[in-house]
Chain A
Amino acid sequence: MGSKWSKDDALIWLSGGALVLGFLMVAGLILVIVVHGLGRFWPQELTRYVMHDGRVVLGHETSRASVRTTGSTGERSRAYRLRVRTGDRRLYPQEYIWLEESGVAGRDAPREAVVVEQVRGGDLFGYLDSFEDDGVVVARGYDAVWAHYRERYPELERLRRQQALSIVLTSTDGRRHAVSLASVQRIYAPNTMTAWTSVRHYVGSAWSYLWAPPRDENRLGGVYPAIFGTAAMVILMSVVVMPFGVLAAFYLREYGRPGPFLNAVRIAVNSLAGVPSIVFGVFGLGFFVYFLGGTLDRLFFPADLPEPTFGRGGILWCSLTLALLTLPVVIVAVEEGLAGVPRELREASHALGATRFETLWRVVVPVVLPSILTGLILSVARAAGTVAPLMITGVVAFSAELPVDGAWPFVHLEREFMHLGFHIFDTGFRPDGGEAFLPMSYTSTLLLLAIVVSLNAAAIGLRSRLRRRYSVAAA
């Protein structure tokens, strides 16, 4: 307004700052995930660092850290160190090294530098030397080897079985290393890539991330089994929680006699929603895995004992645990929907002589169907993002088998399985040497975040459309 201002206006402004701060912090963290997660598939240029001491290093910079130094005369200054990834240990002693920036005499990006992605093991950075067939050199030199490789690339899958073919790489210090074609996933020369080939590379990598199994202890490759496991578990959970949750909500709103008892149950349900997920995991372990599973084993699989079949963690028990966890979510959503059904609608139906069930089925259910859907989406989102209880009820970091496959009985409820959230934990929580796993976990984090956020956005959108419809109906 005027030029006058009071301390109070400033305080209002500052409280607005609190709102913005909380918001920006979350946004900032998410931005970090997005940048790291999305950037990973872009082909990174290989740099050759020539050091003053004559050493030559090939790799790409992952970070730059500042270090304080105190010179001989006591003056303080700031120096920088580069963290450089030099590729798989088969070619160089360490995958990541530190380089003093002041020690770098020059750097360039040699076009011949290639990245060899291995089926087992990490990426190798080096120069193409020759193409060998059973020890006999078939092609030599970058262009020839590259041409040979490109020619053979379409039939790579078949050639893999022929152990005889191999590609020889030279390292920066002149050592030669032969890689059997059998273990070559893909070769590319990042320094020669155009924007278009980079995009193709990017899309290809992202695609194989989604649809390929993991390699090298989850460090490389894809997360297909984790996505599949998450989806299978969530579907299984929905099958359990939806009928039960809807029924419970109908009991609470429609059939139960309103009174202190019902009130107490409702409070208990709400409080159940506040119980930490890990506690559900503990319950799941004690009840589902050991009690139910143990009983099943004794009844149906006594031959295999003491080797447990159902008496250990598995996808069924995880699903049941999460069903319990998401039960309040479903109940609350459906109850809200039921509360929104106009009373006149019900009364009109009763007035026509319909029974309570008929009213429910023909009048109420169609109206609350979207709310049920909202409950489903929200519970799926919650389940997809929950990790802690699964850690003790049957999720594993790596599993060669999927819970659903072609082997009888097709659905293997007792199997341990991979889960996207746990994959993040497994790759992101490594006491040492975890650096090499981080690109993977950033991408998985982004994927999980995208899934959960879009599910929630869908639920929010659905609900706001619902509310608008009711308010129109009420007006």
Chain B
Amino acid sequence: MTTENTPVTPKILREETIIDVERVSFWYGGRAALKDVTMAIDRQVITAFIGPSGCGKTTLLRLINRMNDLVPQVRMTGTIRMNGVDIYGPDTDVTRLRRRVGMVFQQPNPFPKSIYENVAYGPRIHGVKSGVFLDEIVERCLRRAFLWEEVQEQLEESALGLSLGQQQRLCIARAIAVEPEVLLMDEPCSSLDPVATSRIEELMLDLKDDYTIVIVTHNMQQAARVSEYTGFMLKGELVEMGVTDAMFTTPRDRRTEDYITGRAG
């Protein structure tokens, strides 16, 4: 184990912390994907994670809403708490947790249903039956995702007919339709062109007033543009985490500096 010489100091639970991760390690089969990660994520700000491919960003994100429960033969140690409650504890209902912690994936993955049904899906499974109410939710979320204008005429058409950028915004609308507290976004712009990307960034900035957003990105400019806090990961370790501006101007760790300045692959 690479705890190295610096003993990890658990963060003091602050008022603004919504999620705190304490000494989490994670293995796929026998292979370690996360090593002793400790950090905290604050309420209603955007936190970004950067790092080279394969360093464990997605893994970390998926641990926060327990999507990794679906993967066979994995092992985790450490604790992750949301609002102070252990989310891997015996009293946690996974589906309730996922409802509170939404996720947007790297590849847009709308269901093969109509646009309307995509957004209405979440509220429906959580028990909303009234048509009027659903209509209202669908419109609100699509507006929120800046998609309403483009699709209001074709709500009953298949979501698979939308462009990739539209699909990704639909996925965001779908995610916020269940009114989560936290929105996890795993490289949401990786398959999009610059125009669509900037639309999503705008959207994120707009959403952060109501949601806590955690974003994984390969694009350092994007992290710099949208996030308040940034974490840098390398080979399963969280090397450094701090205020975004400070991190990009005066990184504390050599490895961060190398990565930011493009000296390490």
Q: Who on chain B is nearest to A8 by CB?
A: B95
A10 CB to nearest B CB, Å? 15
A437 CB to nearest B CB, Å? 53
Q: How many residues of A contact B (CB 8 A)?
A: 3
As a 0/1 sequence over residues 1 to 38 of chain A, the CB contacts with chain B under 8 angstroms (1 = contact) are 11010000000000000000000000000000000000
A12 CB to nearest B CB, Å? 14
**Interface SS, B side:** loop
B149 within 8 A of A: no
Q: Who on chain B is nearest to A3 by CB?
A: B90
Q: Who on chain A is nearest to B89 by CB?
A: A2
Chain A neighbourhood of B91, CB < 8 A: 2
Provide the bound-state CA to CA distance between A4 and B97, in Å.
15
B122 CB to nearest A CB, Å? 16
B93 within 8 A of A: yes
**Interface SS, A side:** loop
Chain B neighbourhood of A4, CB < 8 A: 93
Provide the bound-state CA to CA distance between A2 and B94, in Å.
11
A193 CB to nearest B CB, Å? 56
Provide the bound-state CA to CA distance between A2 and B97, in Å.
15
Provide the bound-state CA to CA distance between A326 and B253, in Å.
71
Interface residues on B, range: under 10
Provide the bound-state CA to CA distance between A2 and B91, in Å.
7
As a 0/1 sequence over residues 100 to 126 of chain A, the CB contacts with chain B under 8 angstroms (1 = contact) are 000000000000000000000000000
Chain B neighbourhood of A1, CB < 8 A: 90
- Total A-B Cβ pairs within 8 A: 4
As a 0/1 sequence over residues 75 to 100 of chain B, the CB contacts with chain A under 8 angstroms (1 = contact) are 00000000000000011010000000
Which residues of A in the span 177-203 have a Cβ within 8 Å of any Cβ on B? none
Q: Who on chain A is nearest to B92 by CB?
A: A2
Q: Who on chain B is nearest to A4 by CB?
A: B93
Provide the bound-state CA to CA distance between A4 and B90, in Å.
9
Provide the bound-state CA to CA distance between A2 and B89, in Å.
9
Q: Who on chain A is nearest to B93 by CB?
A: A4
Chain A neighbourhood of B93, CB < 8 A: 4
A105 CB to nearest B CB, Å? 67
Provide the bound-state CA to CA distance between A1 and B94, in Å.
11
Which residues of B in the span 55-111 have a Cβ within 8 Å of any Cβ on A? 90-91, 93
Q: Who on chain B is nearest to A1 by CB?
A: B90
Chain B neighbourhood of A2, CB < 8 A: 90-91
B79 CB to nearest A CB, Å? 17
Chain A neighbourhood of B90, CB < 8 A: 1-2
Provide the bound-state CA to CA distance between A2 and B92, in Å.
9
Provide the bound-state CA to CA distance between A4 and B91, in Å.
8
Provide the bound-state CA to CA distance between A1 and B93, in Å.
10
Provide the bound-state CA to CA distance between A220 and B32, in Å.
69
Provide the bound-state CA to CA distance between A2 and B86, in Å.
14
As a 0/1 sequence over residues 6 to 19 of chain B, the CB contacts with chain A under 8 angstroms (1 = contact) are 00000000000000
Provide the bound-state CA to CA distance between A369 and B91, in Å.
58
B100 CB to nearest A CB, Å? 17
Which residues of B in the span 86-142 have a Cβ within 8 Å of any Cβ on A? 90-91, 93
A11 CB to nearest B CB, Å? 14
B196 CB to nearest A CB, Å? 36
Provide the bound-state CA to CA distance between A28 and B73, in Å.
35
Which residues of A in the span 147-201 have a Cβ within 8 Å of any Cβ on B? none
Provide the bound-state CA to CA distance between A1 and B90, in Å.
7
B69 CB to nearest A CB, Å? 9
B238 CB to nearest A CB, Å? 28
B92 CB to nearest A CB, Å? 8
Which residues of B in the span 204-245 have a Cβ within 8 Å of any Cβ on A? none
B106 CB to nearest A CB, Å? 26
Q: Who on chain A is nearest to B69 by CB?
A: A1
Provide the bound-state CA to CA distance between A1 and B91, in Å.
10
B62 CB to nearest A CB, Å? 18
Provide the bound-state CA to CA distance between A2 and B93, in Å.
9
Provide the bound-state CA to CA distance between A134 and B26, in Å.
95
A395 CB to nearest B CB, Å? 50
As a 0/1 sequence over residues 31 to 67 of chain A, the CB contacts with chain B under 8 angstroms (1 = contact) are 0000000000000000000000000000000000000
B94 CB to nearest A CB, Å? 8
Which residues of B line the A interface, CB within 8 A? Answer: 90-91, 93
Which residues of A line the B interface, CB within 8 A? Answer: 1-2, 4
Among all A-B residue pairs, the 4 with the closest Cβ atoms: A2-B90, A4-B93, A2-B91, A1-B90
| CB-defined A-B contacts under 8 Å, sample of 4 | A1-B90, A2-B90, A2-B91, A4-B93
